[in-house]
Structures are given as C-alpha cells and as structure tokens.
Amino acid sequence: MLLIFHRKRNRPRRFLCLALLLMALPSYGAAKKEPATVRDLAYGEALFRFYEGDYFKAITRLQVAWQQQLLPNHRDDAQLLLGGLYLSYGLHQEAGDIFARLLDQNVEAAVRNRARLYLARIWYQRGYLDRAETALMEMRGEGMAPAMDAERRLLMTYVRMSQGRYQEAVEALGAWRDEKGADNAYGRYNLGISLVRSGQGEQGFELLDALGQMHANDEEMRALRDKANLALGYTYLQQDKAQQARAYLERVRLDGLASGKALLGLGWAESSQGRHKEALKPWLALSRRGAFDTAVQEAQLAIPYALLQLDAENQAIAYYEQAIAAFQGETRQLQRLRKAFTQGGVAQNFLQDDEMDGMGWYWRLDKLPPGVESRYLYELLSRHEFQEVLKNYRDLQYLAHNLERWAANMGAYEDMLALRRDTYAARAPRIQASYERLDLGQARAQRDAYVARLAAIERNGDTAGLATAAEQVLRQRLEKAEEILSRYPGHEKLARQRDKQRLLNGVLLWRETQDFKARLWNVRKHLRQLDEQIARAGQARQSIEAAQRDAPRGFEGFDRRIAVHRDQIGALQIRITASIAAQEAYLQRLVLDELERRSKRLDEYLAQARYGLARVYDQIATRQEAQP
C-alpha cells in the first residue's frame, strides 16, 4: 500500500465550519450574521442540537421536521445543514446527492467549492478516488481563495499518487510546490517520495532536499524534516552513494522518531566504505534501545557483521548469540500476541479508553492504549484503512446502543398502549351512557320555541312577555284587584283603590316598556349562550362518537406500527451485529497481518543470525583443521 503521510486535522471544527458556511448562504434567506433568524421552530430546534454538538439528534429533528412539513421557510437551509451532518457521519453518498442538487444552482462559488473540497476529502479517505477527483475537477477558479486552491491541489496530488499517476500528481501540485505551509510540506514530502519511486529521482530529490533543510518551528515540522532527510539518505544508500547518504542521515535529530533508522543508515554508510569500526558506533548506540524496534533488530544483526569484518570473531559470536536470544524473545512475544488477537476483542482493545460518546467522521484514534501490543501496532494508526474501519466499528456500536434503547422503549409503549386500551374500555361505556341521557334534539326544539316566542313578543311589542317573575306576580295581583273592583261598579268607597290600581298598572306597564329593549337584548344574549352550549354538547358528542369509532383503530394502528418497528429494529440489530463482526474480523486481519509481517521479518533475521553464527563457527573450525 502506498503510504501517504497526512497532518492530524482538527476535524470537528472544520466540519462545523462547513455546516455553518452552508447555513449562512445569503441565497437561502438565512441571516447573514449570527444569530440566524429562525422562522420555523423545528429548524431552530435542529440548529440548537447541531450547535451543542449532538449531531445525531440534529439529523433526527431535521428528518422528522422534513417529513412533518414543518420547514416551510427553511427548506434549503435545512437540506444543506442535513448534507453537512450526513457528511460528518460519513454518509458521503447522501451528502453528495444533496450538494449536487442544491449547490449547483443556488450558492456562491466559494461555498460550492468548499463543499466539493470536503466531499473530495472524505471520498479520498474512503478510497473513492475517481469521485474525489471528479469533485476536485469541478471546483472552479472563481471564488477560490489561494488557501483553498492549495488544499485542492494537495488533495488532487494525493488522489493521483494513490492511483500511481505520479507525473500527473506533479502537474497537480504545480507551482504551488514552492509555497510554504504545513499542508504544503506534507504534499511535497509525499510527492518527493512518489517521484523517487517512479524513477523521476531528480525532481523528487529536489523536493525532499528543500524539505530536509527547511526551517521548522514545531515538532511536527521537525519530524517531517527528519523524514525527508531519512528518505534521501536511504535513497543514496540504495544507490551506493555513501557519502551523500551520510550527509543527509546526519541531519536527522538523535532524539526524534526517525533517529533509530538514521543511526542504522549511518552505520551502513560507514560500513559500505569499509569503515566498519566507525559503523559500530551508531549501531551499538542503537542496539541499546528496545528490541521490538526493527531498526534495533537490524543493528543487532549488523554489529556482528561489522565485528567479523574487523576479525573480532569471538565478539561477533557473542553478539550473534545475543541477537538470536533477543529475536527469539520477540518472536515469543509476537506469538503470544497473535494468539491473543486470534481470539478476538481487537476493536475493544483499541477502544478501551474511548468514551464512545458519539459517532462521526471526524473521530480518529490518536493514541493506542498502553500495553505491550501498542509498540508493535503503532504503525497501523497512520493507515486510513485501519482508522476508517475502527471508526465504522465505533459508529456501529453507537447505532447498536441507539437501537437497544428503542427496543426497550417498544416494550414500554406496548404496556402503555395496553393500559390506555383498558382505561378506555372501562370509561367509554360510562361516558356513552351519560351522553345518551342527554337529548340534544329536545334541547334544540326548546331553543327553537324560545326563539319563536321571542320573535312574536318583539313583533307584537308584547312588553309583558318579557316581564320578570316579580312583575308577573304583581300583574296577577293587579288583575285580581281589578276583577274584584269590577264587581262593585260605582262604589264610591272604593274610588281610592281604583285609582291606586290604575296607577300601579300604569307604573308596571311603564317599567316593562322602559326595559323592553334591554330585556330583548338580554334574552337574545342568553339564547346565543344556549346556542353555544348546544353546539359544544354536539361537538362533544361527535368527539365521543369519533373516539369510539377511531380509538380501537388508533390502538390497532399503534399496535401495528410498534410491531412493524420492533421487527425492523430486530432486523437492523442482526445486520449491525453481523457488520460489527465483519469490522472486527477486518481489524483482526489488519492486526494479525501486521504481526505476521513482523514475525516473518524476525524469522528472516533469526535465520540470518543463525547462519552468520554457523558461518563463524565454520570459519573457526576450518581454520583449526587447517592448522597443523
């Protein structure tokens, strides 16, 4: 596999930037400055989840709101945000579809270019090289800042390098290769190595030499500078140009990660010039380091070789024996590890310190958990393949937990539904009976009679028709008095009573006439209230009838949905379990292959050490036999 070294990036921030950028598109009506003006609550709620970093909930809210048509004012904003979130979950197909649909027509070039760059990066990392290249080719010069162009060129360089198209990779990097910057430095390093490999040494040397002499402000750049010098040193060693090799290898820092290989190479540079004593110095220094390091193992083989060149046979024998013992110890260690990893639990081993607090594309394992195996497997960390599979494994675990929660909820929902059904069954007959007692038809007939009577009273100006109860009693008494008085016509002693009866009759009529309009208004108001009450009672009855009709169907509907979803959850759980096992198996294979590679190398070293030792003994024996 082609090894391409990449910088560790602050991925969450970068993706957040993309999503923010996409959301703030002027053409979509979102606010140009924060905070965004939210015109659909559901969109605001998804934004809240997104900004607080709960991407899974943000996706769910957006999807639900979309299905429930709760985003009339933020349709495109929501889609673009969803695209960014899909991308953050590694759902590059869905993200790609959304971007292709929305980005082409509606957004400014800078945003379109950035989205394509993100897509290209994730496609490249996932090994979709053709798609990555297409996305990069679609980036247009318009609206492309120099920094973005630099990223585009670098990614294009990597894509082409990964396809073995080295010359085209050089063309992609173009004049930009003279620029400064950390990303650029990685690009030049990778390209330099590729050029050397592809036989275009001169261009490659030029790039690597410049890197090997660059001013480095931080450890990352110093380490890269060491790598460049190391690569040049070994390339010259391979070409039997020991002097040049030595010059580059001496540039490598002694306290850096590349120091072991540099010391080893320095020894070979001296040795190849016949300076075996000088070669011993770096090799001996190296041999005192941990025996698991391949450079150290190489040195353990090289030391007796140099000693033999110096005719120090006994010392060579001692170093060969020392090397054999060390190699055997390492072999046993590797066998133990292989046995342990063969039994499974590879992913858990890597993720033992991980909080498993979410999922997403930005996650990566930066440090192996402490343990003997870490020192043998650290090289795996730099491989996309390893990181991506581990990430998928982790994401699947998250999804599995999510489904477990839903599966548990399904049981609770079924219980809840059963309780509701029982409660409904117990209450429904009582409510039904109480409504059956209510004769709405009779109530409406009475109301109609009141309306008709009121109309007659108004039409006839029948003020007595709206008399109060007290007035009616008074009127009855006055009528009774009039009837009594009429029995004694012309009776003078009753003249005062007659006058009084007439007066009171007049007062009563005056009062009824005076209040007639107000009373009419009041009665009408009461009639309206009666109408409302009758209407409410009608609605309530309709609701009850609807509930009686729909409730069983509703219960059944929920029952059916719960049953269907329970099956879906079960089916997905089976698929997820299988996929977790497949990821685990793949990781196991990567780890076992790595251990196997180391074992094979150790076997070779062991064979060489034994062969060297046997040869020394053979030489000594031959010499002794030759002596008289």
Partner 1 sequence: MKLAARLVLMALLGLTGAMAAAEKEEAPVRDFKSLDEEVQGLKKDVLKLNRELFILEEELLFPTNTQVAVFLSLDSGAFFDLDSVQIKIDDKVVSNYLYTRRELEALKRGGVHRVYFGNLRAGEHELVALFTGKGPQGRDYRRGASLVFEKKTGQKYIELKIVDRENRQQPEFVIKEWD
Interface of this chain with partner 1, residues 179 to 238, rule: CB under 8 A: 193, 196-197, 230-231, 234-235, 237-238
What part of residues 571-590 is at the interface with partner 1 (CB under 8 A)? Answer: 572, 575-576, 579, 582-583, 586, 589-590
* Cα 155 to Cα 9: distance, rounded to the nearest angstrom: 14
Written as six digits, the tokens of 268 are 């070979």
Q: Which residue lies nearer to partner 1 by CB, 514 or 539?
A: 539
Q: Which residue lies nearer to partner 1 by CB, 53 or 371?
A: 53
Residue 33 DSSP symbol: S
Question: What minimum distance in Å lies between the beta carbon of 469 and partner 1?
Answer: 34
What part of residues 366-425 is at the interface with partner 1 (CB under 8 A)? Answer: 385, 388-389, 392, 395-396, 399, 402-403, 406, 409, 413, 416-417
Tally the residues of the chain.
628
Q: Which residue lies nearer to partner 1 by CB, 451 or 562?
A: 562
* Cα 610 to Cα 608: distance, rounded to the nearest angstrom: 5
Cβ proximity of 211 and 190 under 8 Å: no
What part of residues 433-462 is at the interface with partner 1 (CB under 8 A)? Answer: none
Question: What minimum distance in Å lies between the beta carbon of 579 and partner 1?
Answer: 6
**Only segment of 61-69, 104-112, 280-288, 317-325 that touches partner 1 (CB under 8 A):** 61-69
Give the 3-state secondary structure of 425-461: HHHHHHHHHHHHHCCHHHHHHHHHHHHHHHHHHHHHC
**Only segment of 273-281, 292-300, 322-330, 460-468 that touches partner 1 (CB under 8 A):** 292-300
* Cα 71 to Cα 521: distance, rounded to the nearest angstrom: 48
Question: What minimum distance in Å lies between the beta carbon of 374 and partner 1?
Answer: 19
Q: Which residue lies nearer to partner 1 by CB, 395 or 512?
A: 395
Interaction of residue 50 with partner 1, rule CB under 8 A: yes
Amino acid letter, residue 461: G
User: Percentage helix, strand, coil, to 5, in the chain?
Assistant: 80, 0, 20
Quick one: which of 263, 612, 613, 616 contacts partner 1 (CB under 8 A)? 612
Question: What minimum distance in Å lies between the beta carbon of 72 and partner 1?
Answer: 12
Written as six digits, the tokens of 166 are 């080295």
Question: What minimum distance in Å lies between the beta carbon of 119 and partner 1?
Answer: 14
Residue 221's contacts (CB-CB under 8 Å, 6 or more residues apart) are: 182, 185, 214
Q: Which residue lies nearer to partner 1 by CB, 95 or 466?
A: 95
Written as six digits, the tokens of 270 are 């001296």
Quick one: which of 12, 94, 168, 284 contacts partner 1 (CB under 8 A)? 94
Quick one: which of 19, 25, 59, 242 contacts partner 1 (CB under 8 A)? 59
Interaction of residue 608 with partner 1, rule CB under 8 A: yes
Per-residue binding letters, 296-335, with partner 1 (x by CB under 8 A): --x--xx--x------------------------------
Interaction of residue 68 with partner 1, rule CB under 8 A: yes
Written as six digits, the tokens of 465 are 């028709």
Interaction of residue 274 with partner 1, rule CB under 8 A: no
Cβ proximity of 331 and 599 under 8 Å: yes
Amino acid letter, residue 69: Q
Amino acid letter, residue 480: K
What part of residues 499-538 is at the interface with partner 1 (CB under 8 A)? Answer: none
Residue linked to tokens 């090397």: 323
**Measuring CA to CA, which residue among 363, 360, 414, 440 is closest to residue 88?**
360
CB neighbourhood size of 23 (10 A): 22
